[in-house]
Chains A and B, each alone.
Chain A
Amino acid sequence: MNGARFADFAVHSRFLIVVSGIPSPVSLVMNSRSLPAKIALSAAVVALLLGVQAMLGRYFNEYVQQIVLYAGINIILAVSLNLINGITGQFSLGHAGFMAAGAYSAAAFTFYVGPQITARFQNEAAGSNVVFIVALLLSAAAAGIAGLLVGLPSLRLRGDYLAIVTLGFGQIIIVLITNIREVGGAAGMTGLPLMTNFVWVAALMVLCVLSVRNLAISHLGRSMKAVREDEVAAEAVGVDTTRAKVLAFVISSMWAGVAGALQAHYIQSAHPGSFTFIRSIEVVIMVVLGGLGSITGAVVTAVLLTGLTEVLRSITGAFAVGLSLVLFAAVLTLPRYRSAMRQSAMGWLLWLRWPLLSGVALVAGFVFGRDWLEARVAALRFVIYALILIVLMLLRPQGLLGRGELSWSSLRRSRSATTPEAEGASERSEPVDEGVRGTL
């Protein structure tokens, strides 16, 4: 089961066939080379984001806006962690620690120094934006230094051992913070100014995805992938493996720090409890579920999982999620029964027996057990969440997109690959990272 086959399914809808024929507007934007074009495009993006923000504020309530912002922050976290865990193949469990380093350094700045700077500005909004920009830079720097410190042991350790070291390092950061009275200690820091809004989150998310993607397609990214594949061989062909690993750690943790700062200035507080290793694991889940090494995979799962925790608050939402999971499973298992289906109608039954059974069970549970479930949905929420993760992992152990990328050209490729003579071609190999190169 590979990424191409997943896209293969997506492409059967007529709309996508039509759309994938025209050049992707995203690729036009992202592949522009000249500096004026880049500046003009950035300005256009910011204008667009301002427009979207106005719309969000007008047509959607605060709850929806909050989910959108969390999704954006989670995208930054997942995409940046993907640089270490997916592209460089190191196993880090310390992302929340870097987040904390960024969140607290930014919070301390806006809390203690911020008001004095804002006071010097005539325009209060301009002042607070300047403060926030400095705070964000500070958070990136602090988290980057923390990443450098963790990157150094990663030179000697790999796999499980590195995971334990990064886990420990994350805990050390939390314990340190808990013991600094100036940032609130165990009670956390409250009363931070509200500075994060949709434009900040969206713009930084775009920057984060762009930077990771640009890095991945450069020789530095190739070196990181070489480290993932075989460190000894990488050294032998001239890859400075030390530099590749440390670079991945530093850039990744810088973005984690920025995400932490965004979060702290949205909920207007920073608390040690929100940066425990549970948070790190949440991000690891996003990366693994999206497909280790797939940037678009990390984006998709960050959005899906952020939405999922919210949808599961209501029993109707849980039911809808369950049904879509059954459909997803049916589509994914289809290729296994293809030959059986050609032979007889029994093949169809074979294919559909589990989806049908679980679908019926779901509907029955929804119809007859609704009240019982309704009373317990809060308690069951994370059981269901965990169950969904287990099912998804069983269905697609390599993640939604494997190492491929979901892109315009991958859709186009799989469309041509579904013609009979090219069928072998799509089976032959996973789209390694061609998707990233031309498109996104």
Chain B
Amino acid sequence: MNVLEFKEATIRFGGLTAVAPLSFAVPRGQLAAIIGPNGAGKTTVFNLITGVYAPTGGEIWFEGERIASAGKSLAPHKLAHKGLARTFQNIRLFGDLSVEDNVRCAFAGRAGYGLASALLRDGKQARQEAWIAEETAELLKLFGLAERAHIQARNLPYGDQRQLEIVRALATKPKLLLLDEPTSGMNPTETETVTRLIRSVRDQFDISVLLIEHHMSLVMGICERVVVLDGGVLLADDVPQAVQNNPHVVAAYLGEPDPELDEAIEHGHAIA
């Protein structure tokens, strides 16, 4: 069973085809990566999945349910409630809020009480807030952020900010976690830590992970599947070893001329 499936999903901005009809699937429980040179359309694919953009053609399915089709898509917060969580390429924390409150904000979809309870501060509100506080504390402890729970998020060190973004995403109880360049701007040691973290998150939380990454060591080291994009078309969709030896991928990364790829981008179809 696939957690995520692209069926010929495509998006055009005016005359520019950012993602040509693209089909791929992420089976449940898999740790997959999307790679590709700059401008390949990786983040656009993320924005399609999370409902920031609606595709101009094709369909996107999540957990056996169609979440987007030509011209329409579920709102991002509804997708989040369904189990899609993401982090951002440039960290987007709630800077002025405490670490703890950043995580608690992610319970918006599961808070379980309404306006009346909130205004009256009744027993239901108390129970639910206690539960949220407990879950938050547990998550923060798990990721070693418990001691910094009351610090403003903007004052966290860079590495912790990336980590907090992942914790916040996990607090929505996702089925699929999308990580947009989780190691960008990190040194090799930090990259190593994040790599281990991603794998343990997948195992412990029993979720699927799709990530965009430039660090090949991370991609080849832990990912079970690699989807390669260039110019908005699918170059390869395979296990890491096969992708590494794919001549089109090598050409795209080294910038060598590849007439077959040029032709594919021209006509907007996949190579693989």
Contacts from A to B (Cβ < 8 Å): 33, 35, 211, 214-215, 218-223, 225-226, 228-230, 232-241, 247, 403, 428-430, 432-434
Complex Cα distance, B84 from A236, in Å, reads 8
Stretch at the interface among B34-42, B55-63, B99-107, B230-238: B99-107
Complex Cα distance, B77 from A335, in Å, reads 45
CB–CB B119/A214 < 8 A: yes
CB–CB B97/A237 < 8 A: no
| Contact residues in B for A247 (Cβ distance below 8 Å) | 115
CB–CB A225/B150 < 8 A: no
Determine whether B98 belongs to the interface, using a CB cutoff of 8 Å to chain A.
Answer: yes
Complex Cα distance, B184 from A406, in Å, reads 40
| Contact residues in A for B155 (Cβ distance below 8 Å) | 428-429
8 chain-A/chain-B pairs, Cβ below 8 angstroms: A219-B108, A223-B108, A225-B97, A230-B95, A235-B80, A236-B50, A237-B105, A240-B108
| Contact residues in A for B107 (Cβ distance below 8 Å) | 219
CB–CB A432/B97 < 8 A: yes
Q: Which of B120, B152, B172 is close to A429, meaning CB atoms less than 8 Å apart?
A: B152
Choose among A219, A237, A247, A430 the residue with the greatest number of B CB atoms under 10 Å from its CB. A237
Residue of B nearest to A247 (CB): B115
The A-contacting residues of B in range 147-173, CB under 8 angstroms, are: 150-152, 155, 168-169, 171-172
Residue of A nearest to B51 (CB): A235
- Known: A220-B118, A223-B105, A233-B93; 10 extra A-B contacts, CB below 8 A, are A215-B119, A218-B125, A222-B104, A229-B93, A229-B95, A229-B96, A235-B75, A237-B105, A238-B80, A238-B108
CB–CB B150/A222 < 8 A: no
CB–CB B86/A222 < 8 A: no
Top 4 nearest A-B pairs (CB, nearest first) are: A218-B118, A238-B80, A229-B94, A238-B109
| Contact residues in A for B115 (Cβ distance below 8 Å) | 220, 247
Determine whether B76 belongs to the interface, using a CB cutoff of 8 Å to chain A.
Answer: yes
| Contact residues in B for A239 (Cβ distance below 8 Å) | 77, 105, 108
Residue of A nearest to B82 (CB): A238
CB–CB A238/B106 < 8 A: yes
| Contact residues in A for B110 (Cβ distance below 8 Å) | 238
Q: Which of A35, A432, A434 is close to B96, meaning CB atoms less than 8 Å apart?
A: A432
Q: Which of A211, A228, A235 is close to B77, meaning CB atoms less than 8 Å apart?
A: A235
For the complex formed, measure the closest distance between the CB of A158 and the CB atoms of chain B, giving whole angstroms: 16
Determine whether B209 belongs to the interface, using a CB cutoff of 8 Å to chain A.
Answer: no
Determine whether B261 belongs to the interface, using a CB cutoff of 8 Å to chain A.
Answer: no
Residue of B nearest to A233 (CB): B92
CB–CB A403/B96 < 8 A: yes
For the complex formed, measure the closest distance between the CB of A44 and the CB atoms of chain B, giving whole angstroms: 18
CB–CB A236/B118 < 8 A: no
| Contact residues in A for B80 (Cβ distance below 8 Å) | 235-238
CB–CB B119/A222 < 8 A: no
Complex Cα distance, B94 from A403, in Å, reads 14
CB–CB B108/A226 < 8 A: yes
For the complex formed, measure the closest distance between the CB of B154 and the CB atoms of chain A, giving whole angstroms: 9
Choose among B94, B105, B111 the residue with the greatest number of A CB atoms under 10 Å from its CB. B105
CB–CB A33/B94 < 8 A: no
